[in-house]
Structure 1
Amino acid sequence: MDLVNSFMNWVVPPASMVMLAFAWPALSFLHACEWLYSTYYSEDMEDKVVIITGASSGIGEQIAYEYAKRRANLVLVARREFRLIGISENARRMGAKHVLIIAADVVKEEDCRRFVNETISLYGRLDHLVNTASLGHTFYFEEVTDTSVFPHFMDINFWGNVYPTYVALPYLHQSNGKIVVNASVENWLPLPRMSLYSAAKAALVNFYETLRFEVRDEVGITIATHGWIGSEMTRGKFMLEEGAEMQWKEEREVHVSGGPVEEFAKLIVSGACRGDPYVKYPSWYDTFLLFRVFAPNVLRWTFRLLLATHGARRTSLVGTGRPVWEGAGRPLLEGPSPRKLIASPVTSSQLSPQYQQKME
């Protein structure tokens, strides 16, 4: 058996690459034909019902506006209800037939059951479930001394998608509906200072890839992956418990431009209505996947070079630090390293609300 595997290790990779090279033109043509067909028969969202979690800012907010332009009925879910009020008014002006706002925490199963049940009670159906709530960080793994922060990233990025999906799935089966997943290129592209976030997103993508086979064609699943976009996280914002917004003074070490969040939201909604299995923005990020599979050393050397070029700066833990005022009165953050900060006496009730809520 070892001899067979050794032979296959030498033969299969180059043979597969040659086959793909010859098949690429035909596959591209078939993909183009499929895209044209699905675009022509794209789903009409007028009077359809859409639940959007994490709708209080960023990607979730912009997705709500895109569905509003298609005259859908919206259910906007987020912890920050006061933010949803203004967004719901904007959505109505853009064409939404009806907008329901619900304050809920997607990491709590009972909250997920509540907003799904309220949706069914009001509209009698559910057509699209859009999960956009995410939690990000920009610190090195070794800087953290309090491991109680770890579950927060899995709770928001993984269970915050699984619970709404589990509760909504029976109703999506009835309507042959769709699930939209806000993933990230970090699920397979290893970016520094994103270790816990990347791990949670990898788990998320693998969950929905498996679920896609389980539900077959009865429920469509669109997985959206993005690079750096203009969301709250990439602008350094985080949320305090009382809802005050602040911003980091320091920038990220490695920043690869992705594009505006409005354009990504438009692509997501268009892709979901077409029934696309994936929405990638920008699509050139796929090139890195080839390097990871066939030339992982090149990818590793590239990141080492980027880190060496940008130095070894550290930023404070998500949502912590000393606020300072700069420019036109905008609060900026200039704080110590996470190791120093977490080592200081602070209760869990003081610490946990200060993790960044990234509503991409």
Structure 2
Amino acid sequence: MELMHLFLDLVLPPAAIIGLFVTFPLVAFLNVMYWLLTLVRREDLRNKVVLITGASSGIGEHLAYQYAQRGARLVLSARREEKLNHVAERARSMGAVDTYVVVCDVAKEENCKRLIEQTIGHYGQLNHLVLNAGVANLFLLEDAKSTEGFPIVMDTVFWGAVYPAFYALPYLRASRGRIVVVASVASWLHYPRQTFYNAAKAALVQFFDTLRSETRGIGITIAMPGFIESEMTQGKFISETGDASLKPKARDEQVGPTPVLSTKACAEAIVSGAERKKHYIVVPVWYLSFLPYRLWMPEVMEWAWKVFVLPSRHSAPPSKKILDKDPMIKKTFYTPNMLKAE
């Protein structure tokens, strides 16, 4: 048996590389043809029922506006009812046929079951399930004061997507609908201080990739945004003590001199990709530049994190020093709403 594995170790890697070069031109050609086709043939979202979790702010809020402009009927879900009502009112003014607000904590299974039941009870169908709810941690594991805050991110990001998807599957199959998963480039670009967030997003991608291969009649689009204007990039993180509060200075250390894309542009790219039935959406696209390093030179990425992002014992990391050096530099990389958060 060991000889068989040795044979496969020697033969399969070069064979796979040769196969990649042989099949790539054909696959690339087919992808270009499919892309051209989707420019003229997109899903008509008028009167479609779209359920969005985490819809009270950030990406989820602007996803609601994008679907509203396309004439969808919306179910908006989050924990903050007042903010949800504001989003619902604005969505109606932007073209939503109807809006329905459901207060829900997606980290709790019974809430997710009720969310799907109320959606079907109100509209009788479900066409798009948009799984966007999320929260991120911002601390080094060794700095954690206790394990109390550890499950929060996984419960919200991972289980908060799995539970609604599980209960929605029969209705999505009946409508030949689509699941839109808002994951993150953090699923493969492991940014420091976000151990649980990175792990939760990676689990999310693996789960829905597998689900895509298991199911028929249900489309799955996985979006992987980078740094996007949101409450997280304004400084709202789970801290080492387990609380979630707005801390712009901590945000500076985390985001660093990285351009932050507007929430509107991100949401527009996600909904446009879902209309075109894309499997994956990376936004902004330039984040794909890091993928070869992640696959073939992970040591380079680890060195970059330790040199530029992590602080030394006696000083802040270079990423924060660059932002502190000149206010004009911060304005170059941050959006106006992020600066207001200070």
Instruction: Output the TM-score relative to the length of structure 1.
Output: 0.80
Higher relative contact order (CA 8 A, sep 6+): 1
User: For residues 67-113 of structure 1, what are the alpha-carbon distances to aligned partners after superposition, in whole Å with 9 as ceiling and x for unaligned?
Assistant: 00000000100100100111111101110000111111111222122
Alignment of 1:187-266 (within 5 A): 187-216=187-216, 218-237=217-236, 246-250=246-250, 251-253=252-254, 255=256, 256-266=258-268
Residue 81 of structure 2 aligns with an amino acid whose one-letter code is E
Give the corresponding residue for 1:268: 270
Structure 1 residues 35 and 232, CA, compared in 2 at 3 Å: closer, same or farther? same
Higher normalized strand content (fraction of residues): 1
Residue of structure 2 in register with 1:336 after alignment: none
Secondary structure, aligned partner of 2:148: helix
Specify the SS of the correspondent of 1:252. helix
| Residue matched to 2:309 | 307
1:164 counterpart letter in structure 2? P
**C-alpha contact (below 8 Å) 1:176/1:219 kept by paired residues:** yes
- 1:48 Cα offset (Å): 0.7
- Which structure has the highest helix share of the two? 2
Q: Deviations over 1:252-293 (max 9, x none)?
A: 245333522211111111111221111111223233222222
Of 280, 289, 292, the residue aligned with 2:291 is 289
| Partners of 1:264 and 1:194 in 2: CA distance | 21
Sort the Cα spacing of 1:10 and 1:305 in 2 relative to 1 into closer, same or farther, 3 A: farther
Amino acid at match of 1:307: V
Who is 1:34 aligned against?
Answer: 34
Q: Output the amino acid matched with 1:229.
A: I
TM superposition shift of 1:35: 1.6
Deviation of 1:7 after TM superposition, in Å, equals 5.1
Q: 1 CA distance for matches of 2:6 and 2:283?
A: 38
RMSD (Å), alpha carbons: 2.5
Query: Residue 320 of structure 2 corresponds to which residue in structure 1?
Result: none
Match of 2:173 in 1: 173
**Structure 1 letter corresponding to 2:229:** G
- 8 Å CA contact 1:227–1:257 kept in 2: the answer is no
1:88 pairs with 2:88 = yes
Gaps of 5+ in 2: 239-243, 318-339
Q: Structure 1 residues 70 and 87 mapped into 2: Cα distance closer, same or farther (>3 Å)? A: same
SS of residue paired to 1:51: strand
1:3-14 maps to which residues of 2 (within 5 A)? 3-6=3-6, 8-14=8-14
**Alignment gaps of 5+ in structure 1:** 315-329, 333-360
Q: 2-side partners of 1:225 and 1:202: how far apart? A: 10
Runs of 4+ aligned structure 1 residues displaced above 6 Å come to 308-311
- Give yes or no for contact 1:253–1:310 (8 Å, CA) kept in 2: no
Shift of 1:63: 0.3
Q: Larger deviation: 147-156 or 299-308?
A: 299-308
TM-score normalized by structure 2?
A: 0.84
Aligned length: 313
